[in-house]
């Protein structure tokens, strides 16, 4: 595919500086691997030296980097280079693929009572249950299941293997065995939500599991019954969110982090990857609970000491008292 800089400017805006509208571009590349037919971008001034050394035909930069960029060659000056880059990838893909697919693939199994919105796409081997609703412009890639009665909003993207609306994990013990609690709620997903490959979102037990607008969820994430995720929150791969937890808006949950059930997490909270959230968080901020990595030899020593940590604490307290006692003694002597 060949695109001219002028076409990019015409489609996405920005000011072309030090370059020609008919310059031909064949790829979008990171600064380091860019060649003379690449367009690249600088979103962080930290990488200014990489820009200087880049072979890119054109670099997308912020106004503050204009002078540095011009010294190197052509640039497009825009307010937010990273957002411009994102829109450029969308422009690129649309140009390359042509029209987005729509309709229902012949191998998909869509219940007659399901409602599929205008220009939505249900890909190969998908299964859409009775009474489910798929919003306009939403894409189900291959092998997605949306179970009975679940609702997906508009312009969503569900990647292969996603399961929406499997039963939540609920059982009552009668002392000898587990009695299933039928999961009578649904999953309701807002607009502009993206859900990664093989991610599972369970239906609610009585009320619904809710994912608000603009939420982005990565691969292999487990979202249990009756979870509520606030708008524009971002959840990285392998995360687990237990039943009835309530995440605020604009939260960011790092990869493989876990959140216990029935907790409330404040708007704007960030959780570091692999951290375990065991209590509600009322104050936004960055929270972390990562066990430090060490050589196995060091780890063995420290892990053994850890098991004695509260004993060590007692020994310190004892030492402090003994020293205090000695001081008094010395003072008295």
Q: Site residues for its own copies, window 195-214 (CB under 8 A)? A: 196-198, 200, 202, 205-207, 214
- Residues in region 68-87 near its own copies by CB under 8 A: 80, 82-83, 85-87
The CA angle 318-322-328, to the nearest 5 degrees, is: 145
Contact in structure between 210 and 228 (CB atoms under 8 Å): yes
Taking CA atoms, 268 is separated from 196, 247, 279, in Å, by 22, 9, 16
Interface map 254-283 toward its own copies (x if CB under 8 A): -xx-x-x----------xxxxxxxxx----
Task: State residue 194 phi and psi, 5-degree precision.
Answer: -115, 135
225 catalytic residue (yes or no): yes
| Using rule CB under 8 A, residue 47 touches its own copies | no
Stretch of 4-12, 67-75, 112-120, 320-328 lying at the interface with its own copies (CB under 8 A): 320-328
Rank residues 48 and 184 by Cβ distance to its own copies and give the closer one. Answer: 184
Nearest CB to its own copies, comparing residues 28 and 61 = 28
Q: How far is the CB of 22 from its own copies (least distance, A)?
A: 23
Residues 6+ apart with CB under 8 A from 149: 129, 130, 131, 132, 165, 186, 203
> By the 8 A CB rule, do 250 and 233 touch?
yes
Distance of alpha carbon 24 from alpha carbon 216, whole angstroms: 34
Q: Which of residues 97-136 bind its own copies (CB under 8 A)?
A: 105, 107, 109, 123-125, 127
Q: Cα–Cα distance between 187 and 113 in angstroms, integer?
A: 17
**Residue showing tokens 């037990």:** 205
| Cβ-based nearer residue to its own copies, 97 or 118 | 97
Strands 139-140 and 157-158 turn out to be: parallel
Taking CB under 8 A as the criterion, which residues in 130-189 touch its own copies?
Answer: 141-143, 145, 147, 157, 159-161, 163, 166-167, 169-174, 176-184
* CA–CA dist 7, 222 (Å, integer): 42
Q: Nearest approach, Cβ of 121 to its own copies (angstroms)? A: 13
Q: Which is nearer to its own copies, 48 or 299 (CB)?
A: 299
Complex with its own copies: residue 118 or 172, whichever CB lies closer: 172
Q: Which of 159, 225, 228, 232 is catalytic?
A: 225
Nearest distance from C-beta of residue 51 to its own copies, angstroms: 16
Report the alpha-carbon distance of residue 74 to residue 87 in Å, rounded: 19
Q: Could you give the residue numbers annotated as active site? A: 225
């Amino acid at each position: 595919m060949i695109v001219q800089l002028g076409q990019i400017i015409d489609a996405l805006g920005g000011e072309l500086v030090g370059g020609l509208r008919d310059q031909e571009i064949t790829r979008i590349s990171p600064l380091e691997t860019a060649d003379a037919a690449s367009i690249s971008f600088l979103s962080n001034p930290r990488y200014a030296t990489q820009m200087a050394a880049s072979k890119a035909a054109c670099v997308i930069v912020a106004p503050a980097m204009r002078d540095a960029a011009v010294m190197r060659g052509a640039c497009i000056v825009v307010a937010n280079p990273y957002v411009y880059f994102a829109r450029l990838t969308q422009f690129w893909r649309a140009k390359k693929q042509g029209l987005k697919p729509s309709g229902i693939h012949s191998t998909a199994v869509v219940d007659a009572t399901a409602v599929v919105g205008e220009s939505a796409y249900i890909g190969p081997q998908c299964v859409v249950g009775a009474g489910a609703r798929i919003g306009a412009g939403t894409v189900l890639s291959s092998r997605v299941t949306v179970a009975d009665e679940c609702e997906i909003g508009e312009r969503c993207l569900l990647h292969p293997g996603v399961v929406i609306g499997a039963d939540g994990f609920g059982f009552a013990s009668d002392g000898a065995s587990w009695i299933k609690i039928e999961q009578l709620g649904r999953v309701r997903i807002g607009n502009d939500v993206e859900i990664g490959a093989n991610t599972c979102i369970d239906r609610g037990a009585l009320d619904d599991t809710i994912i608000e607008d603009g939420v982005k969820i990565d691969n292999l994430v487990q979202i249990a019954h009756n979870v509520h995720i606030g708008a524009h929150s971002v959840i990285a791969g392998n995360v687990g969110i237990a039943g009835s937890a309530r995440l605020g808006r604009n939260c960011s949950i790092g990869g493989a982090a876990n959140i216990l059930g029935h907790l409330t997490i404040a708007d704007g909270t960030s959780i570091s990857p692999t951290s375990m959230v065991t209590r509600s968080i009322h104050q936004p901020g960055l929270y972390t609970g990562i066990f430090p990595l060490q050589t196995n030899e060091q780890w063995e020593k420290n892990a053994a000491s850890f098991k004695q940590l509260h004993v060590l604490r007692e020994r310190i307290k004892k030492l402090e008292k003994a020293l205090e006692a000695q001081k008094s003694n010395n003072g008295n002597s």
